[in-house]
Structure 1
Amino acid sequence: MSAKAGAPVLRSSSWSVEAWCGWVLVGAAPLVPVVGYLAPLGLAALVSLVGLLCLPALRIADEDRPAAIILFAALIWAAVSTTWSPYHPGKVGNMTIVKLALELPLFWSAVSAGRRADPALRTRALRVVAWGCALFGVVLIVEAATHAVIYKALHRLYQPIRDDLAESNVGHATQVLGLIWPLAAVSAAPRLRAWFALAMFVGTGAAALAFGYDSSMLGLVLAPLAAAVAWRWPRGGPRAMALATAALFLATPFAVWAVRHFLDYEAIRSSLPRTDSMRLGYWSHAIDWIGDRPLRGWGLDASRMFGPGIILHPHNNPLQIWLELGAVGAVAAAAFWGVTLGRLARPEPSLAIAATIACAMAYLLFGVNFGIWQDWWLALGVLVAMLSVMNVAEEAGRRTAQGRIA
């Protein structure tokens, strides 16, 4: 068969993959706010399912290769570190390294699906996400005013829940919407973006204030500031934040040590609310253990073995990487974030890029609350990447169309 004769077959195959990915994303889009509100832990299953269904779309583009190499090398190092880790799970299903090895291709496939989806279906999926997250924001406003009456009523239908747990769970949901709202708002039709952003912003803030989630409140301050920097300095802003993020992963143990060494660390702890005071205690114990094995760390999941000083993990992503994977892991994390954020630099302002930077900074901020290997937390980061590539492609398509009209 000649190359000319084979060309239509290639186009047909490409079209079918694009259409399939588009329909998968359209099907998953309405579940994003529902799962984020009712069961954030289910985000791991949702993103993994998208990745599984869209495996034919998996590609590593030339510009993706540095990040892919870093992630693969980090995965190998994490696997090697299990040989000296004091934590030994009894079941294969509880092994973090097994889950990470499965999630890497699935999550990458989900991002590839966002990039390769049929443009019309991609637009539809983005609009559904935007409407759903705007409604999510409105629901959070109601929840804040009524002490989570909607969440409690829904739970009575299938599983009664204590009032304090219901309110805490709604507060937890603010960290989902509080993370993705910039990209979710940009996903709306241009005339609706400001209104949708307002609904998401107010909903997150009201519920976070009502249920005591300070990190969500701080995220509402940090995200717009980061977006403004990326918009005002589209080339230098992302690069500066890439350097700052790399420094965060490399220097966090030294920063905690400096505060403890030069200031009254215990006085600072005692002046903070109980949860924040406990977190500072974990950090202090973590840097002591890091000092014993600074290069190779204690091994993957070793954080679980350092109780009662550290419960499960240090509640700080950079410190957990240092503690478990040592300086090698910290360098890998710094390199990944540096490469990922640095490549967002553009010669001209981009709303999609500004929203991506906003979400990335919020993700780093919220990382002081969660263990870095938690499946749902990793999936939430992948969801940000999916929304980012979809919006960047959408924006590029609009600019191309405008250029043709001009």
Structure 2
Amino acid sequence: MAGERAETLDRLGAIVIAALPACMALANRSSPVVVGFAGLLLLAGAAMAGRPLRALLVAPLATPLGLAALAFLAWCGLSLVWSPLPGLSLRTLSEFLPALAGAYLVARLAPPHLGAVAGPAAWILIAACGYVVADLASGLMIREALGQRVAAFAFNRPLLVMMLLVFPLTAFLAASGRRRLAALAGLCLAVAAWRSVSGATVLGLAAGAVTFGLVRGLPARAGIGLVGAALLGALVLAPVEGDLLARTMPESLHQRLAGSSTRARVAIARSFGAAVAADPWRGAGYGTSGRFQETPVAERIEPEMRFMLAVGHPHNSFLQVWAELGLAGATLASLVLVLTLRGLSAWTAAARSTALALLATAGIVAFVEHGAWQAWWTAGLGAAIAWLRALHYQSDDLTDER
């Protein structure tokens, strides 16, 4: 009886993860609740089945990667000591940590149970894309009828989460012989992204597709090195990104990309870069980007640079880590990235290429888009990693069969 109840809970958890695109399309901040609920269902199922939770959830934290991630989180927490905005820091942390916990539970516990819902998950993603395209084509009449905010950018978060999911999900489907369904899901998301106002989704999909094509034919070390160099380069150069772009980006390109507010983005990057230069070692404190213009370091930079510090975050997660957590935080973040990449060297080619594509997709969006600690993004990453690990296990099984 307990075994049946455990299977039911596991199945429900997988179904909830499969439903994530639809939930986000209807409520664009719902991913932390969806992923957290799925994580609790899976945790209850694992406990009821008597699975070794210590090995599943605690042991990974004792690995080099786990210890590096915990050290990074510890530094985030320690920075609250010198944060000039402790209330804002605590509020940001209180939103981020539950989303991170849910993402971790799903990433660790869901993979063995996702195979049964891969097909339905693809159809749900296709339906969610259809809803987005239909509502945009109607002038957002559906959102208006539902009493929701009538704004095209309201679909940006759902599309970005679906962008994270589509690479591991379609790779899983293709590996199990459902190539047409995988292609249809990818095509529908591409159409929805192109029809939307989310340039970041288009950019992320393009980066992931190009990366997958490049690394698929490369040796493991070369592919990992290529993606690692790009991501570490983005992190290392983040504090000087604004100055580099201001010197090298031609006016004609600004005009061509006028819809992307490139001038404002360069100005924001320069302002936060100046703040990093003024306090490079420990940063202003976790979560302070929301009101960075009120931090003491803001008073130490030129007055003309301060205005753009009030935008809420630097629209570059790498730069945000530098501004809030300093060199120590950036060093720990780079260590987490390096250890993550090192772990992929043992994966099969298909799983490794998909993982690198997902890293490129998430990395390019983090470089140009939202704040680093957004709960909806963290939860979406957890669901994507769950599908990725399901693909990894499936690839190992297929290799063993051969």
For the aligned pair, the TM-score class normalised by the smaller chain equals: 0.7 to 0.9
Q: 1:363: how far off?
A: 0.8
Calculate the aligned-residue CA RMSD, in Å.
Answer: 3.0
Q: 1:126: how far off?
A: 2.5
Partner of 1:369: 369
**Partners of 1:27 and 1:148 in 2: CA distance:** 31
**Partners of 1:240 and 1:264 in 2: CA distance:** 24
**Partners of 1:103 and 1:170 in 2: CA distance:** 20
- Match 1:283 to one of 269, 293, 296: 269
Q: 1:50: how far off?
A: 2.2
Closer/same/farther in 2, CA of residues 95 and 199 from structure 1, 3 Å limit: same
Closer/same/farther in 2, CA of residues 37 and 298 from structure 1, 3 Å limit: same
Asked whether the equivalents of residues 296 and 325 of structure 1 are also in contact (C-alpha less than 8 Å), the reply is yes
Residue pairs, 1:233-252, within 5 angstroms: 233-236=218-221, 237-252=223-238
Asked whether the equivalents of residues 231 and 354 of structure 1 are also in contact (C-alpha less than 8 Å), the reply is yes
Residue pairs, 1:175-324, within 5 angstroms: 175-188=160-173, 193-236=178-221, 237-260=223-246, 262-263=247-248, 272-273=257-258, 275-307=261-293, 308-310=307-309, 311-324=311-324
**Partners of 1:17 and 1:329 in 2: CA distance:** 43
Q: 1:28: how far off?
A: 0.9
SS in 2 for 1:95: helix
Q: 1:369: how far off?
A: 1.0
**Partners of 1:239 and 1:17 in 2: CA distance:** 45
Q: 1:394: how far off?
A: 2.0
Higher relative contact order (CA 8 A, sep 6+): 2
Q: 1:51: how far off?
A: 2.4
Partner of 1:68: 66
**Partners of 1:139 and 1:103 in 2: CA distance:** 26
What one-letter code is carried by the residue in structure 2 that aligns with 1:287?
G
**Partners of 1:266 and 1:306 in 2: CA distance:** 29
Partner of 2:300: none
**Partners of 1:191 and 1:109 in 2: CA distance:** 25
Asked whether the equivalents of residues 133 and 184 of structure 1 are also in contact (C-alpha less than 8 Å), the reply is no
**Partners of 1:348 and 1:113 in 2: CA distance:** 21
1:22 matched to 2:10: yes
Partner of 1:325: 325
**Partners of 2:378 and 2:274 in 1: CA distance:** 27
Closer/same/farther in 2, CA of residues 295 and 188 from structure 1, 3 Å limit: same
Closer/same/farther in 2, CA of residues 316 and 16 from structure 1, 3 Å limit: farther
**Partners of 1:240 and 1:228 in 2: CA distance:** 12
**Partners of 2:193 and 2:347 in 1: CA distance:** 36
Q: 1:339: how far off?
A: 1.4
Asked whether the equivalents of residues 148 and 170 of structure 1 are also in contact (C-alpha less than 8 Å), the reply is no
Residue pairs, 1:76-91, within 5 angstroms: 76-89=74-87
Partner of 2:33: 45
What one-letter code is carried by the residue in structure 2 that aligns with 1:169?
A
Asked whether the equivalents of residues 234 and 348 of structure 1 are also in contact (C-alpha less than 8 Å), the reply is no
1:397 matched to 2:391: no
* Matched length: 375
**Partners of 1:251 and 1:16 in 2: CA distance:** 53
Q: 1:374: how far off?
A: 0.9
| Residue range with higher mean Cα deviation, 207-216 or 262-271 | 262-271
Residue pairs, 1:13-162, within 5 angstroms: 19=7, 22-55=10-43, 56=47, 57=53, 58-61=56-59, 65-89=63-87, 95-115=91-111, 117=112, 121-143=113-135, 146-147=137-138, 152-153=141-142, 155-156=144-145, 158-162=146-150
**Partners of 2:291 and 2:63 in 1: CA distance:** 35
**Partners of 1:159 and 1:244 in 2: CA distance:** 43
Closer/same/farther in 2, CA of residues 357 and 385 from structure 1, 3 Å limit: same
TM-score (norm 1): 0.81
Post-superposition CA distance 1:63-99 (Å, at most 9, x none): 9712211121111111111121122327x9x622334
Post-superposition CA distance 1:272-293 (Å, at most 9, x none): 4263332222111100111111
**Partners of 1:38 and 1:353 in 2: CA distance:** 32
| Residue range with higher mean Cα deviation, 316-325 or 211-220 | 211-220
Post-superposition CA distance 1:137-177 (Å, at most 9, x none): 44445455x2455xx32551x41543xx1x22234432222
TM-score (norm 2): 0.82
**Partners of 1:148 and 1:190 in 2: CA distance:** 38
- Structure 1, unaligned stretches of length 5 or more? 1-11
Closer/same/farther in 2, CA of residues 64 and 88 from structure 1, 3 Å limit: closer
SS in 2 for 1:395: helix
Q: 1:326: how far off?
A: 0.4
What one-letter code is carried by the residue in structure 2 that aligns with 1:178?
M
Partner of 1:8: none
**Partners of 1:40 and 1:341 in 2: CA distance:** 30
Q: 1:322: how far off?
A: 0.2
Closer/same/farther in 2, CA of residues 140 and 288 from structure 1, 3 Å limit: same
**Partners of 2:255 and 2:186 in 1: CA distance:** 32
Partner of 1:3: none
Post-superposition CA distance 1:176-210 (Å, at most 9, x none): 22232111212326576443343333333333333
Q: 1:386: how far off?
A: 0.9
Q: 1:338: how far off?
A: 1.7
Closer/same/farther in 2, CA of residues 264 and 341 from structure 1, 3 Å limit: closer
Asked whether the equivalents of residues 35 and 379 of structure 2 are also in contact (C-alpha less than 8 Å), the reply is yes
**Partners of 1:268 and 1:179 in 2: CA distance:** 28
